[in-house]
Amino acid sequence: MTDSASNLAPIQQQELSTSTIPTPPNWLWQLGYWFRIGFSLFLLLSVLIGVAGCSSSAATVPWQKATATVPETVLEQVIQANTDLDVAQAKETLLAWTVDGKAGKLTLFNFNTPNLCGALGCLYTGYWLRENQPAVEVFQNYLNPNLSANKSLFQVGENRGQALPCLEVLQMEGDSLRDGKAERLRQLNYCFNGDRYQLADSQLFTS
């Protein structure tokens, strides 16, 4: 009888000691709960902002209103040399994108009107702009501006020791995405030869 009582004593003491541990206060539980919620939202927003930033930077050319970035005399020259449009009306819709070069700048013009679009695409021209020198047309092409999401029509390419950098032009090839076919994109690399841009090479990509 004495032995059994002595065996039970440590168990009773252990149960007593564990039962006396205080439970955390309610405010501490709530603090932990809201901390987990806030941390989860922070991670989610960080991922969304990162994805949006990457896609926006890669998806479109940063066109601006040409009247805000290009001298009026150059605008008139570009419109009259490439179109039969009314100069005043064409100025309102003309868009421009300027790229810095080693000597001067390359300014691409997007006429942004269906009047200059056809079976071959829409007209895009590029002019070499330098201080105290007349603007010179160095690029002209009809291109299809309709690309899938996150694909940019123009990107700055490498510089091959010329005054102006190369241009990477992305175009859909064939009937991409039709009848379940994979999207086929061709990257055309135009490089400046000292006089104007010419096609240097191209690559075909399938996604």
Identify whether residues 47 and 97 lie together within a single domain.
no
Identify whether residues 148 and 173 lie together within a single domain.
yes
Domain boundaries, position 199: 60-206
Q: Is the pTM of this model over 0.75?
A: no
Identify whether residues 184 and 197 lie together within a single domain.
yes
pLDDT tens digit string along 174-205?
Answer: 765 555 566 789 999 999 999 999 999 999 98
Work out the mean pLDDT of the chain and round it to a whole number: 80
Number of domains within the chain: 2
Instruction: For residues 2-11, give the mean pLDDT.
Output: 48
Label each residue of 24-81 as H, E or C.
Answer: CCHHHHHHHHHHHHHHHHHHHHHHHHHHHHHHHHHHCCCCEEHHHHCCHHHHHHHHHH
Identify whether residues 177 and 87 lie together within a single domain.
yes
pLDDT tens digit string along 46-79?
Answer: 433 333 333 333 347 899 999 999 999 999 999 9
